[in-house]
Amino acid sequence: MATFNKTRLKGFAFAGGLTILAVVFYLTVSSGAGSALSQAQLIGQVAALTLAVVGITFLVGRAGMPSLGQGAFVAIGAYTMSYLRMQYGWPTWLAVLVAVAACAVLGGIIAWATGRLRGPQLVIVTLFGATIVYVLISQLPVFGQFAGYPNSEQNGTSSLPVVQVFGISLTPPLSAGQAPTLVAVLLGVLVLTLIGARRLMRSKWGLSLLTIKESELLAAHLGINVLWRKISVFALASALAGMAGVEYALLFGHLQPESFVFVLSINLLVMAILGGNGTVLGPLVGTAIILWLQTSPYVTNFVKWEQKAISHQWYLSSQGIIGVILILLIIFMREGIVGTVSRVFANRSAKRRGRTEQHLPSAEQQPAPIDEPPYIEERNTEERSADKEVRAGAVLSISGVGLSFGGIRAVTDVSLSVDAGEILALIGPNGAGKSTVANMISGVYTPDRGTITLNGRDLKSVPAHLRRRGGIARTFQAPILLLDRSVIENVLAGSKSLGTQSWFRGIFGGPSAHRQGEADLAAAQHALERVGLLELAELRAGDLSYGRQRGVELARAIASSPEVLILDEPAAGLNASEAATLSTLLLRLRDEGLAILIVEHDMPLVRRTAGRIVCLASGQVLASGLPDEVLSDKRVMRAYLGSIAAEITSEPKSSVVEPIA
């Protein structure tokens, strides 16, 4: 509850600070004096375009979907709203709603059509779309071509009518002597947008975007429907850009195609990067700086000095100066202005509290995870007894699965099962098909033959994100973490609500959402406590050692209390003490009823923890049974160490080694 109240207090402080700032800026231009017109237009333009940059922050900074087409959505929003008002006389509120909705739908369609594209491919598609939009608004007679829209020849006026709301005129800053009331509305919309963006970035929905950016494979295995999440964030960014276009049209009352050339998309992206792509206040800071530089008399005077002192032909224009500033910032402030400042304060705060990895006991000094009895000793034969066949009633069952890549058989007729409260080790030499089997269980691959069931339900047609929601959690051979985020955020990414929370619920929440957030936080903290890393919860995951990153990944996997836990080489990179601690935790999880499948090469860990072992070789089951039986099997030793080792360890030298099944 204390954490919740502290979070609410910070939220109120953020909203209050933004509101005060907006009021102060409006008061500087509220007189409507002629000398304040340009300043009022600049403030209004910053308020409008910041909305589009917020959308880019979600799309590029959070979800990792680079786009050079957001300027096109600004144009679509502006022209759609203006056309509906001028041509059909629609009420402003309805024209705005339709314009923003049209941008959202179009953005969603583009995301659906390009769902599998990443990086340069997506950039090219969005750039192509922006080019098409510019050609249409500059060539179609209905939009006035280069005469602009509206224009006196076609529409009888060269400016949009002033918006009326409950009898109050929202006057744009176009003429002296009138208070620019429209600017006040634009600032109010900006404040609400930034408050909503902050809440959304801190929600599970916002965290899911970071997961997609880091790894779509990881995102799917954390319960996220990657395609639909991409569609939703692209639609959101497009709607915000469309709203920016609406505000731009209302602010200046007239539209020219030259305002929406390709450079606009570039400038919007530059604003996001300059301010801090992925931060809450970065869009506002970046937009304000770029627009101020474009109109600043200091920049204009510097350009004139260049022409006079250097050359009239070879000089840096205002756009060139902005480019140089951006390059310097990328070199020295790679996270943008807000991102860099936030990182500096966060690091100082961590050092002041003494919460760095160096302050934590070493793995040898660190006590075992909490509530862990000394389970490391060998268990008796009755505790480890098991059948070698696939058993009815198993939580996870695999029967006769096979998989080919092209003409190569990676896995052939593999069967195994894992009961609740059991640890099954899957061993074998490199290339035996162990990770392939794990990937088929978690949904990375679909087997060519055979069945995989979870509590009796066939998983063959179930995608990875639904398998995760159904109770299958896993880790990977190499830890996949959000290295720039805190340890606690990484573990929160394992919560069940990560893939199910909508953006609407992320913004508006409610009592149930707050209760869910508190429950998820408590579960994440408990998971970190179990792996002995709770003291490092606020540190960046990228600052931890490899062994502790392994611990964070394991904590993330168990945070949602899954039914089946798949661990792909969890002891890789761990020292002996860390491996012993891992063994203790796995045995504790087993005794709590969790079904665990371990893909592992560390035989001491396998001996300590596994109730049964299945050994694969060349994609087939070579041996299965109790640990002592399998690990002493000559075929297993031959598969691991070669025929010479098998002959040395066999009792009579003349004994014949059985062929690999």
Q: What is the pLDDT of residue 283?
A: 96
In order of 132, 481, 483, 490, 544, the CA distances from 214 in angstroms are: 31, 8, 9, 11, 17
Say which CATH number the domain at 245 has: 1.10.3470
Contact residues for 347 (Cβ-Cβ < 8 A; gap 6+): none
Q: What is the pLDDT of residue 659?
A: 36
Residue 369 included in any domain: no
Q: What is the pLDDT of residue 166?
A: 85
Lowest-pLDDT choice from 92-106, 300-314, 552-566, 588-602 = 300-314
Q: Which residue has better confidence, 352 or 29?
A: 29
**Helix-strand-coil split of the chain, %, nearest 5:** 60, 10, 30
Average pLDDT, the chain: 87
Residue 167 included in any domain: yes
Residue 310 included in any domain: no
Q: What is the pLDDT of residue 263?
A: 87
Q: What is the pLDDT of residue 396?
A: 95
Quote the distance between the C-alpha of residue 650 and its chain's center.
54
Reported as a pLDDT band with limits 50, 70 and 90, residue 358 is low
Preceding omega of 141 cis (within 30 degrees of 0):
no
Comparing C-alpha atoms, which of 529, 561, 550, 544 is closest to residue 486? Answer: 544
Q: Are residues 527 and 428 in the same domain?
A: no
The answer to whether residue 474 scores a pLDDT higher than 70 is yes
Q: What is the pLDDT of residue 512?
A: 83
Given 501, 526, 561, the domain boundary residue is 561
Q: Collapsing DSSP states into helix, strand and coil, what is residue 399?
A: strand
Is 187:43 a contact under the CB 8 Å cutoff?
Answer: yes
Percent of the chain at pLDDT exceeding 90? 62
The answer to whether residue 393 scores a pLDDT higher than 80 is no
pLDDT digit string, tens, across residues 204-258: 999 999 999 999 999 999 999 999 999 999 999 999 999 999 999 999 999 999 9
Reported as a pLDDT band with limits 50, 70 and 90, residue 655 is very low
Given 236, 260, 284, the domain boundary residue is 260
The answer to whether residue 435 scores a pLDDT higher than 70 is yes
Distance CA 197, CA 194 (A): 5
Q: What is the pLDDT of residue 315?
A: 80
Distance CA 387, CA 370 (A): 33
Residue 656 included in any domain: yes
φ/ψ (deg, to 5) at 254: -155, 145
Reported as a pLDDT band with limits 50, 70 and 90, residue 648 is very low
Exposure class string for 27-60: b at 16+ Cβ within 10 A, else e: eebbebeeebbebbbbbbbbbbbbbbbbbbbbbb
pLDDT digit string, tens, across residues 175-188: 888 899 999 999 99
Q: Are residues 555 and 593 in the same domain?
A: no
Residue entry with tokens 């936080």: 521
Reported as a pLDDT band with limits 50, 70 and 90, residue 4 is low
Q: Are residues 595 and 519 in the same domain?
A: no
- Joined tokens for residue 89: 């006389």
Is 186:48 a contact under the CB 8 Å cutoff?
Answer: yes
Longest CA–CA separation in the chain, Å: 108
The answer to whether residue 56 scores a pLDDT higher than 80 is yes
Q: Are residues 545 and 614 in the same domain?
A: no
Q: Are residues 90 and 156 in the same domain?
A: yes
Q: Are residues 515 and 606 in the same domain?
A: no
Residue 299 included in any domain: no
Q: Are residues 456 and 528 in the same domain?
A: no
The answer to whether residue 373 scores a pLDDT higher than 60 is no
Exposure class string for 165-199: b at 16+ Cβ within 10 A, else e: eeeeebbbbbeeeebbbbbbbbbebbbebbbebbb
Q: Are residues 500 and 405 in the same domain?
A: no
Q: What is the pLDDT of residue 294?
A: 87
Q: DSSP state, 68?
A: S
E strand intervals along 503-594: 564-568
Q: What is the pLDDT of residue 5?
A: 67
Q: Collapsing DSSP states into helix, strand and coil, what is residue 333?
A: coil
Q: What is the pLDDT of residue 649?
A: 45
Given 213, 243, 260, the domain boundary residue is 260
Q: Are residues 398 and 435 in the same domain?
A: yes
Residue 306 included in any domain: no
How many domains is the chain partitioned into structurally?
Answer: 3
Quote the distance between the C-alpha of residue 128 and its chain's center.
26
The answer to whether residue 60 scores a pLDDT higher than 50 is yes
Compute the average pLDDT of residues 379-394: 44
Which range marks the domain in which residue 509 is found?
Answer: 486-561
The answer to whether residue 451 scores a pLDDT higher than 80 is yes
Q: What is the pLDDT of residue 361?
A: 53
Q: What is the pLDDT of residue 331?
A: 85
Distance CA 230, CA 217 (A): 14
Percent of the chain at pLDDT exceeding 70? 89
| Paired strand residues for 567 | 598
Q: What is the pLDDT of residue 353?
A: 60
The answer to whether residue 310 scores a pLDDT higher than 70 is yes
In order of 277, 327, 365, 476, the CA distances from 333 in angstroms are: 12, 10, 38, 32
Q: Are residues 17 and 144 in the same domain?
A: yes
Q: Are residues 607 and 517 in the same domain?
A: no
Residue 125 included in any domain: yes
Say which CATH number the domain at 411 has: 3.40.50.300
Lowest-pLDDT choice from 24-38, 123-137, 178-192, 336-350 = 336-350
Q: Are residues 91 and 201 in the same domain?
A: yes
The answer to whether residue 346 scores a pLDDT higher than 80 is no
Reported as a pLDDT band with limits 50, 70 and 90, residue 644 is very low
Q: What is the pLDDT of residue 304?
A: 86
Residue 619 included in any domain: yes
Lowest-pLDDT choice from 46-60, 88-102, 353-367 = 353-367
| Paired strand residues for 616 | 621
Q: What is the pLDDT of residue 368?
A: 44
Lowest-pLDDT choice from 2-6, 428-432, 619-623 = 2-6
Lowest-pLDDT choice from 57-71, 136-150, 319-333, 364-378 = 364-378
Q: Which residue has better confidence, 645 or 170?
A: 170
Q: Work out the number of other CB atoms within 10 angstroms of the CB of residue 642.
A: 11
Q: DSSP state, 540?
A: B
Half-sphere exposure of 105 (CA within 13 A, CB side): 6
Q: What is the pLDDT of residue 354?
A: 53
Torsion of CA 433, 437, 440, 446, to 10 degrees: 50
The answer to whether residue 3 scores a pLDDT higher than 70 is no
Contact residues for 467 (Cβ-Cβ < 8 A; gap 6+): 441, 442, 443, 454, 459
